Amino acid sequence: MDYTEKAHRPIKYSIFVYVWLALVALTWLTVAVSGMHMGRLSLISPFIIASAKAFLVVAFFMHIKYEAGIFRLFIGVALATMFVVVWLVYSDIAFRS
């Protein structure tokens, strides 16, 4: 394995502006969806929108998109662990009622 440091690649400010605009748009979408009565989608849609926003923040503002693969693996393991815990909690609540 090669553990040498890669050359830093500068990121254009326009990318950060576009990501910020996307985050603002997703925040507006969250507010708009919160006033709608969509049944079960009222619970799922904010989680999907928040996941998209979290992806943008982690990928671009935390520069994970430009890091080595091992960091992506660690984030994937953490996310998988979180999804399993959330699934176990929600399935436990669903079977209790």
Reported as half-sphere exposure (CB side, CA atoms, 13 A), residue 13 has a value of 0
Q: Which residues contact 48 (CB under 8 A, 6 or more apart)?
A: none
The pLDDT, as a whole number, for residue 73 is 87
Cβ neighbours of residue 8 closer than 8 Å, sequence gap 6 or more:
none
pLDDT band at 28 (very low <50, low <70, confident <90, very high): very high
Q: What does the pLDDT look like over 31-41, one tens digit per residue?
A: 999 888 887 77
pTM for this model (two decimals) = 0.69
Q: In the predicted model, is pLDDT for residue 53 greater than 90?
A: yes
User: Smallest Cα–Cα separation from 15: which of 75, 63, 78, 72?
Assistant: 63
Q: What is the pLDDT of residues 65-96, one digit of tens each?
A: 777 778 888 888 998 999 899 889 888 887 87
